[in-house]
Chains A and B, each alone.
Chain A
Amino acid sequence: MPHRDVPRIVYADAFRRLCRARDLVHDRFRDPLTVRDLARAAGMSPYHFLRLFNDVFGVTPRQYLMRVRLDHARELLVGGASVTDVCFDVGFSSLGSFSSLFRREVGRSPSDYQRHKRVIVGVPATIGRLWVPHCFLMHYTNAIFEKPSTAPLG
């Protein structure tokens, strides 16, 4: 997650309240959270909350929520869950919007990502997660290091 130093104008109390809202995203990312919900958790007006959140964390609350959902989606995909299950499990209500956001942010479609990652980590259910160092993988697969996407979240 992007992080910036807290601007001096954000007092400790406001920062704590922003963190409370941010924690709510992590606790309830599966729910249809709104800016109003988060602003309420921070005890601020939606307008004030939006502005301060963006100043402090460098992303909008919606971008933050999407990234948390995508982080969880990546874990579930690597674990072998179906794309549809992952989509709804992490809080998206549309497979299309999940897939296009995933592709834009991660650089691959969810199913491509799953194939790629499962080549890397294997994950036979009987032996748990398998780690094969990348230098060895390069001998056998076309696995490449992922480059983080710079595309903005929708």
Chain B
Amino acid sequence: MIQRQSHTSIPVLDQESAKTFYTEKLGFEVRTDADAGGFRWLTVGPKGQPDLEIALMPIKPGMMWDEERARTVKDLVGKGTFGFGAFATDDCRATYEELRVRGVEFAGPPAERPYGIEAVLKDDSGNWFALVQHR
């Protein structure tokens, strides 16, 4: 039986810029930032969820992606093609205001949904996330 998710990843256009965005704008903490022998292993996570590491993965050619595919993914991410998950908050409207003041881009103001209050934000690379206050 799988107990929980420990790691996930977000493709980013620039790791340093993403690190700044996730820590200084979203308020996440850095879990690991290390040279893993040829690439930078950079993970962050929400302060209230210490057992989750979100890897900020640069979009580079490697074993899985060739040059062309990496270029395509980079282009798609930059154009805001992908949604990568939802962040939970106790107060969506307050968090929305707080993040907006810090310069986080939102698709629109918080809206009532059947499941709670939700706003949709974009990271500095172009990835979308829901910010949800559940009922």
Contacts and interface: CB of A to CB of B under 8 A. Distances in A.
Of listed B32, B41, B55, residue having the most chain A CB within 10 A: B41
A122 B35 contact: yes
Given A133-B7, A138-B63, A140-B63, A119 B37 contact: yes
A138 B35 contact: no
Nearest to A128: B34
B65 interface: yes
Interface residues of A, number: 17
B80 to A, nearest CB: 22
Interface in B8-50: 9, 32, 34-39, 41
A130 interface: yes
A136 B39 CA distance: 11
| Most-contacted residue by chain A among B36, B55, B64, B65 (CB, 10 A) | B36
Nearest to B41: A132
Nearest to A118: B37
Given A130-B32, A136-B57, A122 B63 contact: no
Nearest to B60: A140
Given A136-B9, A136-B55, A136-B57, A141 B38 contact: yes
A139 B35 contact: no
Interface in B44-89: 55, 57, 60, 62-65
Contacts of A127: 32, 34
B39 to A, nearest CB: 4
